[in-house]
Structure 1
């Protein structure tokens, strides 16, 4: 029954004496002061408006292009730059035979040699100095390039080289030679696959054998100081075309 203390109204017979402290009224409960809870101020965060989105306008094909079926500019195929074709080289070469040598000579004027041409007279002097007949035999017509004035045939530098080397190969099979003279830059370039740096030097050409690169006759006449180097190179190579019994 949850009874803590019980006191009778009258003294009970034969009961134990009461304890005085139990008869005193209980002390009133004093509530302890409660400390106030500190109030924390919440910082005010300024409201930031979201940045406005930039409107991107997507170009739409016009009604006219849609009807005609034309493609937008972004879908057009890229323009490929065209490489300008290399112009064909221009030269005229004459093949001659002197003793055991074949001579592929640049024609300074593009026309065949005449008996009194200064370039032809210089060539005769060179042959006499080399110990070869000074009246060389002309073999065939001059090789002129380009072959065609019009047409779609390739007439570039590589085609010219193949043609000149093929022409010489056929002639050398008919009558072998001890040394091939290449006189003039076109002869050196398209038969010997070399440049002006090879002047006065001996070249080994696949399929054609030994060759001697010589400056052009007109260049030797315009720059006589080049003749000394030609004579020196000639003396070094002379044993190639000399007859064994000479």
Structure 2
């Protein structure tokens, strides 16, 4: 083997080793393959050839580790200096702050005001002679002539010796609450506002014609026509305005479901009947 070929092979293997590629050399001719060169078959690996490369890599790695250690040490020293400076500034600023700033007063956090519930109901105003009727509408629509509740109401008026065909007021338009569905004042439509609205409408209707008594049929009618929720006893009498009185009764729907309430209604009616009969 010539010196040039050997030198080229050594250089080639060195380059492959630098690239961390393993060098494979044939030990014998392989079947069905091109014949290997004689100098490759007789090649003797020299381990010392890789030592400079490995030594260089190890040296670079050690230098890098030393550099990292020194950088970490310098960073730790810088951090300690910063902490000492910060502690010194805080120690000198604390007495000044204590002298210049008055002690802060303890502030008690205010409890959030609970949002008031907005009631939802529909009421119908009717008139029969000197009696004004305010009754609940479960479906928020005016009663129809064929509704069982309306037929029962006619029977009650007939038993009370009043015109059994009541006149629908407000152009047959029910009182619906809440009035506003959006806007800045929508959240203020609480029970107090609803009560003031219903009582004002009743007062206006009573002033239109002579009124002896106001019938309240249903829970919402009783609740929002009276001055407060405390006046909610069935078949009871409470004062309204001037000489007008409120008569609290179950709803027409309850009278249909519970026949025993009709007997109580008749007994209470016999006590109240002279008031509207004498006025008529």
TM-score interval, smaller chain: 0.5 to 0.7
Instruction: Specify which structure has the higher proportion of helix.
Output: 2
Greater shift, 202-211 or 164-173, is seen at 202-211
* Unaligned residue ranges in structure 2 (runs of 5+): 1-86, 94-103
The equivalent residue for 2:114 is: 84
- Deviating above 6 A after TM superposition, structure 1's stretches of 4 or more consecutive aligned residues are none
SS of 2:174's partner is strand
Structure 1 pair 244–164 and aligned structure 2 pair: CA distance change class (3 A)? closer
Higher relative contact order (CA closer than 8 Å, sequence separation 6+)? 1
- How far did 1:192 drift? 1.8
SS of 1:198's partner is coil
2:153 to 117, 123, 133: 123
* Unaligned residue ranges in structure 1 (runs of 5+): 1-59, 67-73
**TM-score, normalized by length of structure 1?**
0.65
The equivalent residue for 1:150 is: 182
SS of 2:207's partner is helix
Show the 5 A alignment for 1:49-60.
none
Show the 5 A alignment for 1:189-204.
189-193=223-227, 194=229, 197-204=232-239
1:171 matched to 2:201: no
Instruction: Give the root-mean-square deviation of aligned CA atoms.
Output: 2.6
Which one has the largest radius of gyration?
1
1:212 to 220, 225, 247: 247
1:181 to 200, 210, 215: 215
**TM-score, normalized by length of structure 2?**
0.58
- How far did 1:80 drift? 2.7
SS of 2:273's partner is helix
Q: How many residues align?
A: 177
> Matches of 1:91 and 1:203 in 2, distance apart?
22
